[in-house]
Amino acid sequence: MHRTRQLVSQLSAAGQSNEREEVLYIANRCISALRVLRTAKRLGFRVVGGYCTSDAKESFVGALDSAVCLEGDDDGPSAYTNIPNVIKAAVAQGAKYIHPGIGFLSESGDFARACKQAGLIFVGPSPECLDLFGNKFQTCALATRLQVPNLSLGLVDRSGTLSPEQAAKLPVLLKATNGGGGIGLRLIHTKEEAADMYQRCVSEATRAFASSSSSSGDDNKNNQHAEICAEIYLSRARHVEVQLAGDGQDFVCLSDRECSVQRKFQKMIEIAPCPALDPTVREGLAACALRIAQETRYQGVGTFEFLVQDATYYFIECNPRLQVEHTVTEQIYRGLDLVAVQLRLARGLRLVPTSLQRASFGTAIQLRVCAEVYTPQGQVLPAPANTRIAAVNFPRGEFRVETFAKAGTVPNPKFDSLLAQIVVSAESFEQCCLRCVETLSELEVVGCPTNIALLKLIVQQPQFLHSQFTTSLVDRSLSTWLASLPPPSSSGGSSSDDESQPPSSFELIKGQSLLLLSPMQAHVVAISVAPGDTIVANRTVVAVLSALKMEHEIRCTRSGVVDKVITCAAGAAVDAGATLCEIILKEVQVDQLRETVVDNTKSPLFQQFYDKVKYFTQDASRPDKTGST
């Protein structure tokens, strides 16, 4: 097994006198802000921050030594990615350091440069390093040069047409070069799908990631977000990542993590170390991560991600920042605090390698508890608007929790649905699974629908218990699993306010007509049909809605002809249950299909929407990439 080396610098005395005069600004919110704040306080920093208007009553605001409302009209994710306003708030409160937290600006080279120009120390890698690793195509090109195996098939033509080499590898993944967390990512099986899915990737990634660059005043960099690369798709792969820290000269691999339990490419459960991983593969992953870190003289904490299939591994990307799942790595090492490592590296201290002492507990599992509703078909919807948590009852026993949720919390629909990270540890993977079941059985979030029951079901599946993970496991099995779950009750994680529940059906029959309703609170990206258009059941894309940081294609389960479109403006806000269009029911031959996805991203209405709402639904969301809760 690969011998790792621990950092001694983060374990040094916390209360040095010069630290107590230093001010740290946290450019983040909720769980991420609270996690960084806890370590910074222990190290003697005065901790300050900023917040958007709708976050004014969140617990992280009160926990800061001082906080200011971020200026501007933004009241959502873009408030935290407006670089000039964030810099202004940090300088106004006397900050010397800026910690980006998890997501938002944590991978922005522009932000790191702006901090340096303002005389602030960015807690993270250099701007040049962020520029490199923030682009998947460039990162894979580096890996190829270093003879690190990867799955890249190069950039896709802007027309959305696959090259002969790319088409020969179908099915393939289309990925935004600056995307992440399942955003700007689509799996395609045929060449005919490519153009439409290309547009979905471009639109989704632009909405989620472009504001960071535009806020810095460099509009040309928004073009980066329209670049899409192709990648070989592995249907039976495991997603394994290596945690690393470096100071530019010394580099330390701190074990690996299993991240294969995903829904729509978004992580749900993480395990450290990765169970049932071939020792040779484990050694190879660490060696590849070290090779890339050494070549780039990496400075900071980062994660190097791989896909593993049939004892063969492939590098896919590096996340040059702290990740949500860093907690499971900390849990298996005695005394390790990765935020402390970041802060001490920012202060110019070196890593002092020595042999690593394993913790008494050998396995840790993190469970992401989210405010979500699942339909019987496996669709994930945000919790209904204005859902208020009545109580949070955490279980007894030993476990770690990172959360901002408490009685009275109203999950903000403008951000990610993550409510809490529960980390359970035990001496073995099998024992850890049992503790997960016990913990989830006792955990209650009253008054708000959650995925607690689904998480409990997953950790009891034979595939999970026998470490037979693949990234497609949840998507293949979700509908079947959900069918076995009892209806949620108001005391077991569902909203007790019947009026806040989403409609039970999203299609209403009225005589020979059908009203297609929005299944979620969302914004309209595009209406893809017009009066007189033919609808083929389960085939025709009627509308594209944006919610939970993703773009959702809405189809109808009945065939017919569009009579009228009720909501047609791109950027319009719709509530769950709002009528999208009225369809006259009739039998339709498949060859009558009109499969058009309207690209409204270039229309004046859509641009006005961007300017006004400023990426209202962007992923402040994925705590993993562009934002954090």
Q: With helix as H, strand as E and coil as C, how does 591-621 read? A: HHCCCCCCCCCCCHHHHHHHHHHCCCCCCCC
Phi, psi of 269, rounded to the nearest 5 degrees: -140, 140
Of the residues 35, 238, 321, 344, only one is catalytic, namely: 321
Phi and psi at residue 445, to the nearest 5°: -120, 100
CA-to-CA dists, residue 504 to 60, 116, 133, 377, angstroms: 35, 52, 43, 12
Q: What are phi and psi of 55, to 5 degrees?
A: -100, 5
> φ, ψ for residue 218 (rounded to 5)?
-110, 85
Query: Backbone phi, then psi, for 626, in 5-degree steps?
Result: -105, -5
- Structure tokens belonging to residue 317: 């990307």
- Alpha carbon 225 to its chain centroid, in Å, reads 17
Q: Would residue 42 show up in a list of annotated catalytic residues for this protein?
A: no
Distances (CA, A) of 164 to 186, 325, 350, 585: 19, 38, 49, 41
**108 by DSSP, 3-state: which?**
coil
CA dist 551 and 525 (Å) reads 8
Sign of the dihedral through C-alpha 518, 502, 374, 627: positive
Q: What are the CB-based long-range contacts (under 8 Å, 24+) for 465-469?
A: 465/430, 465/433, 466/276, 467/258, 467/275, 467/276, 467/429, 469/238, 469/258, 469/260, 469/261
CA atoms of 236 and 472, how far apart (whole Å): 7
Compute, in degrees rounded to 10, the torsion defined by CA atoms 567, 572, 578, 580: 30
> Does residue 531 have a cis bond before it (omega within 30 degrees)?
no
Q: How far apart are CA 49 and CA 331, in angstroms?
A: 27
Asked if 100 contacts 111 with a C-beta cutoff of 8 angstroms, the reply is yes
CB 622 within 8 A of CB 103: yes
Q: φ, ψ for residue 292 (rounded to 5)?
A: -70, -40
CB atoms within 10 A of CB 611: 10
Q: Which of 496, 499, 404, 411 is nearest to 447 (CA)?
A: 496
Go through 485-513 and write b for each residue having 16 or more CB atoms within 10 A of its CB, e for each that does not.
Answer: eeebeeebbbbeeeebbbeeebeeeeeee
3-state secondary structure of 221: helix
CA distance 23 to 30: 19
Residue 180 and residue 527 in contact, taking contact as beta carbons nearer than 8 Å: no
Instruction: Answer yes or no: are the C-beta atoms of 272 and 331 closer than 8 Å.
Output: yes
Task: List the beta bridge partners of residue 354.
Answer: 6
Q: At what angle do helices 83-92 and 194-215 cross, to 10 degrees?
A: 30
Whole-number Å distance between alpha carbons of 40 and 21: 12
β-partners of residue 271 are 258, 365
Q: How far apart are CA 192 and CA 190, in angstroms?
A: 5
Catalytic annotation, residues: 321
